[in-house]
């Protein structure tokens, strides 16, 4: 868990533990946005001792550069945090006004076979720069990561935040515990993908032993 540094830190930690226990916590978006709110309070209210309406409204106000949906994503966890405090009598602050969800209008791109071949060719030819460890890890990880997405249909965050202990490489089953809507489900890997992941697990384990993800 990242370090929260504002006067809200103790309450934020209680909130996170509550959400995790309820299996309603998403590290990829909630923690980042809560961290940004924590930094906002630290920088703008360094002498603050209690959450105020001004703090919440100042952070949650929709920005000129934001759509309704991007604003919702940014402030959702702060809204939940305020409601958590209110429900325990720890704050009189009103939850922020959340913009109405907008219907998405983009059209997904259907890749041609040629585009897919070119894409995976580039994944397989990522260079290692000056033998730096991070570039070696990138070269090993990216081809496997995108093949996993392509072959299984799982979401980006599901693959990126998959704990190693939730990948059963004996039976070829992934235990996806945190997904859209926080619904746990299982994914059975294709035999070819399973073999790729077994080789990757062995190779990356020599570079990053004891890794969590």
| Residue 30 in tokens | 């909630």
Q: Which of 55, 63, 95, 62 is nearest to 77 (CA)?
A: 95
Q: How far apart are CA 213 and CA 204, in angstroms?
A: 11
Residues 80 and 34 in one domain: yes
How many domains, the chain? 2
pLDDT in tens, 139-164: 999 999 999 999 999 998 889 889 99
Residue numbers of the domain that contains 195: 113-207
Where residue 184 falls among pLDDT bands split at 50, 70, 90? confident
Residues 76 and 133 in one domain: no
Residues 127 and 81 in one domain: no
Task: Provide mean pLDDT across the span 173-202.
Answer: 88
Q: How far apart are CA 11 and CA 9, in angstroms?
A: 6
Residues 147 and 187 in one domain: yes
> What is the average pLDDT score of the chain?
92
Where residue 178 falls among pLDDT bands split at 50, 70, 90? low
Write down the H helix ranges in the chain. Answer: 9-21, 32-44, 53-60, 68-87, 113-124, 133-152, 156-160, 191-207
pLDDT in tens, 83-106: 999 999 999 999 999 999 988 777
Question: Coil, strand or helix: which one is 91?
Answer: coil
Where residue 1 falls among pLDDT bands split at 50, 70, 90? low
In this predicted structure, the answer to whether residue 22 has a pLDDT above a threshold of 80 is yes
Q: What is the pTM of this model?
A: 0.59
In a domain, residue 49? The reply is yes
Residues 128 and 83 in one domain: no
Residues 122 and 198 in one domain: yes
In this predicted structure, the answer to whether residue 2 has a pLDDT above a threshold of 80 is no
| Residue 77 in tokens | 């966890």
In a domain, residue 72? The reply is yes
Q: How far apart are CA 67 and CA 33, in angstroms?
A: 16
Where residue 181 falls among pLDDT bands split at 50, 70, 90? low
Pairing state between β 173-176 and 185-188: antiparallel
Residues 83 and 129 in one domain: no
Residues 152 and 75 in one domain: no
CATH number of domain containing 186: 1.10.443.10
């Amino acid at each position: 868990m990242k370090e929260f540094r504002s006067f809200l830190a103790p309450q934020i930690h209680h909130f996170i533990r509550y959400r995790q226990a309820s299996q309603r916590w998403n590290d990829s978006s909630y923690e980042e946005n809560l961290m940004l709110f924590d930094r906002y309070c630290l920088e703008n209210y360094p002498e603050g001792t209690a959450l105020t309406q001004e703090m919440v409204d100042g952070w949650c106000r929709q920005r000129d550069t934001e759509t309704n949906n991007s604003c919702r994503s940014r402030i959702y966890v702060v809204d939940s945090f305020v409601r958590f405090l209110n429900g325990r009598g720890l704050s009189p602050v009103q939850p922020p006004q959340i913009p109405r969800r907008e219907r998405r209008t983009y059209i997904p791109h259907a890749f041609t076979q040629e585009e897919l071949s070119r894409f995976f060719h580039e994944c397989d030819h990522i260079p290692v720069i000056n033998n730096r460890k991070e570039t070696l890890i990138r070269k090993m990880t990216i081809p496997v990561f995108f093949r996993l997405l392509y072959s299984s249909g799982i979401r980006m965050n599901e693959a990126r935040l998959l704990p190693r202990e939730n990948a059963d490489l004996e039976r070829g089953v992934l235990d996806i515990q945190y997904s859209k809507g926080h619904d746990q489900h299982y994914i059975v890997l294709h035999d070819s993908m399973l073999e790729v992941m077994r080789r990757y697990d062995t190779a990356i384990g020599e570079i990053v032993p004891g890794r969590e993800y």
